[in-house]
Amino acid sequence: MSARFDDILDVVRSIYGDGPIALHRPVFEGNEKRYLIDCIDSNFVSSVGARVIEFEQKVAAFTGAKHAVATVNGTAALHVALQLAGVERDSEVITQALTFIATCNAVAYCGAHAVFVDVDRETMSLSPDALRTFLSEYAVHRDGLCYNRKTWRRIAACLPMHTFGHPARIKEIIAVCDEYGISVVEDAAESLGSYRDGLHTGRFGKLATLSFNGNKVITTGAGGMILTDDSELAARAKHITTTAKVPHPFEFVHDETGYNYRLPNLNAALGCAQMERLDEFLRIKADIAARYEAFFDANGMHFVTSPAGAVSNYWLNALVLDSRAERDAFLQYSNQRGVMTRPIWRLMTQLEMYSGCQHDGLDNSRWLEDRVVNIPSSVPDNALPALNP
């Protein structure tokens, strides 16, 4: 087994060199420092500043969304997006148990309850087939609303997540939810630069969110974004994330309970510089994924690639090993040798705060949890051409 592991580490080192290799590090080889200095010199370093608006415009233009509203992090974006979608206290949100905890935490922030439906093995994201099966068994309509016959709580929304940047079968998910009158919010935190049938992820539902955490394809240090084509929802998102303050030159009037969730100008300055290199980042990451794919195919191992009809950003490259025992052995072997790898997330149902949530058995989720590992996925040092001064 160690020989097989050494072969994997050799292909990683052929891309990244011999030093300690991070899983996914940020790359600051463009205008980041210059824009930060300009921001400091302007004295606008908090949530009011030209770079916030510029960053929102750049992300909206890249994704094709009509509106983008910047937030302090992706979890804050999810929290507000769910609230805008009609998620209320003691309602329910159908989502996946195979996800980063922020997905479920945002549901909990609304005072709502997560319900977990299985994923597809190919996409590692919410399965429309499992969703249809669950709803056909449990969904009941009352007064134009959808309720769960087991809990008699209203099913307010569905929250699929595009795992590691591989697009879910989102059109099918939305089609199922439309039949039952359930709103869809896309957790596109990991999928900036990913497309399904030529449309950027986050463009299918009424609302979607992105993340710009330090380990994402581009980073603002910490940051998130709400995407929507609905002008009224965009205005509400901006209002709620700016403490619900009524615009006035000097009076402090707030017309509802809001949140201090707007992205600071300093972070947005980083984002503007990162957006200038996004196309290059994506091209390099696609090249790295192609090298991995060729190696693993030649050696009879399962490397996760773009699903049919989709283009993935390959945010985190994923390898499916043969068993949990092999997964655990590889994680220990690689990390002890300076190559950072990690398992896919522990299922949300195995965490104490979500262990009592309703689920459908999660067979594929459990199968993937036992086998999937992430391998280094950063843009390598000096892979980018220098920018003109």
CATH code of residue 64: 3.40.640.10
Based on the fold, state whether residues 251 and 357 are members of the same structural domain: no
Q: Are 294 and 288 in contact (CB under 8 A)?
A: no
Closest to 103 (Cα-Cα) out of 181, 211, 21, 182: 211
Closest to 99 (Cα-Cα) out of 64, 126, 74, 71: 126
Q: Are 216 and 25 in contact (CB under 8 A)?
A: no
Does residue 389 carry a pLDDT above 50? no
Based on the fold, state whether residues 242 and 287 are members of the same structural domain: no
Per-residue model confidence as pLDDT tens digits over 158-213: 999 999 999 999 999 999 999 999 999 999 999 999 999 999 999 998 999 999 99
Domain of 340, in residue numbers: 2-25+277-375
Based on the fold, state whether residues 217 and 87 are members of the same structural domain: yes
Pairing of strands 139-142, 145-148: antiparallel
Residue 19 lies in a domain: yes
In angstroms, the Cα distances linking 11 to 4, 6, 16, 332 are 11, 9, 9, 18
Mean pLDDT of the chain: 96
Q: Which amino acid type is present at position 3?
A: A
How many domains in the chain? Answer: 2
Domain ends where: 256, 275, 294? Answer: 275
Angle (CA) 386 164 272, round 5°: 35
Residue 226 lies in a domain: yes
Band (pLDDT 50/70/90 cuts) for residue 383 is confident
Edge-to-edge strands, sheet with 155-159: 67-71, 224-228, 207-211, 183-187, 155-159, 92-95, 113-116
Based on the fold, state whether residues 20 and 70 are members of the same structural domain: no
Residue 381 lies in a domain: no
State the Cα–Cα distance between residues 286 and 288, nearest whole angstrom. Answer: 5
Beta-bridged to residue 69, according to DSSP, are: 226
Q: How much is the pTM?
A: 0.95
Based on the fold, state whether residues 214 and 139 are members of the same structural domain: yes
Alpha-carbon dihedral of residues 14, 19, 23, 29, nearest 10 degrees?
A: -90
Burial of 250-284, coded b for 16+ CB within 10 Å and e otherwise, reads eeeeeeeeebebbbbbbbbbbbbbbbbbbebbbeb
State the Cα–Cα distance between residues 170 and 209, nearest whole angstrom. Answer: 14
> What pLDDT is attached to residue 46?
81
> What pLDDT is attached to residue 388?
52
Per-residue model confidence as pLDDT tens digits over 50-86: 999 999 999 999 999 999 999 999 999 999 999 999 9
